[in-house]
Amino acid sequence: MKIYHVPCLEDNYSYLIVDESTKEAAAVDPVEPEKVLEASNSLGLTLKFVLTTHHHWDHAGGNEKIKELVPGIKVYGGSIDNVKGCTNAVENGDKVHLGADINVLALHTPCHTKGHISYYVTGKEDEDPAVFTGDTLFIAGCGKFFEGTAEQMYQSLSVTLGSLPKPTRVYCGHEYSAKNLQFALTVEPENLQIQQKLTWAKNQRQAGQPTIPSTIEEELETNPFMRVDLPVIQ
């Protein structure tokens, strides 16, 4: 399993998930479909379907266009999220397969939107899994509570996503990491891991490189919104 970043708009990321043996690919939130297709074609891939995390235009806004550009492509989205261009509605626990080795599990992670879906992706046994968290979990942060409650965000972050295997790579929808880590440091000024990750994130951005992915383990160590059970945060 290979994952490619496709920077879009000002600070969004779309992603290509690739099954290496078949060269089949899935696009996550392809808001600028021409860019995503160009990346896919340059890598010699066959785009099979779209995974939409939620209905906001900067994630789902390219769905109709990609359906024009790739006739017959399937577009997955949360069953209660009213995703533009959706052809296949998914609910918590639904599974989708890609190529020979990749399995995608839909996880309902509401709050940012009521039907927000994160996609947990596994490949071969020796490969670390990945999770595409849209605007629910950011590196060292979380999305705004547009359609849900703090209780729902706690469940989404600490229970649903927090219980994934620690090496799971976290791919989120926006490049907010440096700002989020700056905030995290105001909450835990003594946290050495936050200090180190902030320095690293700033260096990455200065070099024009993404700060994504993180891992679930790193988030449990540095993300204040996934550390709310700890007395030091409370």
Find the CATH number of the domain harbouring 6.
3.60.15.10
Question: Does some domain include residue 191?
Answer: no
**Active centre residues (catalytic):** 54, 56, 58-59, 112, 135, 174
> What distance lies between CA 212 and its chain's CA centroid?
10
Q: Which token pair is 65?
A: 């266009």
Return the bridge partners of 106, or none. 119
User: What is residue 137's predicted lDDT score, i.e. its pLDDT?
Assistant: 98
pLDDT at position 127 = 96
Domain extent, residue 134, equals 2-175
Check residue 148 and give its pLDDT: 97
Per residue in 12-49, pLDDT (tens digit) is: 999 999 999 999 999 999 999 999 999 999 999 999 99
Which among 168, 162, 176 is positioned nearest to 220, based on CA atoms? 162
Specify the pLDDT at position 54. 98
- Flag whether 162 is in a domain: yes
The number of folded domains in the chain is 1
- Token digits of residue 143: 């999305």
Residue for token digits 């099954």? 19
Q: Answer whether residue 44 is part of any domain.
A: yes
**What is d(CA 188, CA 224) in angstroms, rounded to the nearest whole number?**
8
The predicted structure's pLDDT at residue 177:
98
| pLDDT at residue number 25 | 98
Q: What is the pTM of this model?
A: 0.97
Residue 141 lies in a domain: yes
* Residues of the chain with confidence (pLDDT) below 70: none
Domain annotation covers residue 138: yes
Sequence letter at residue 124: K
Beta-strand runs (E) in 40-168: 46-51, 74-78, 88-90, 95-98, 102-108, 117-122, 130-134, 137-138, 141-142
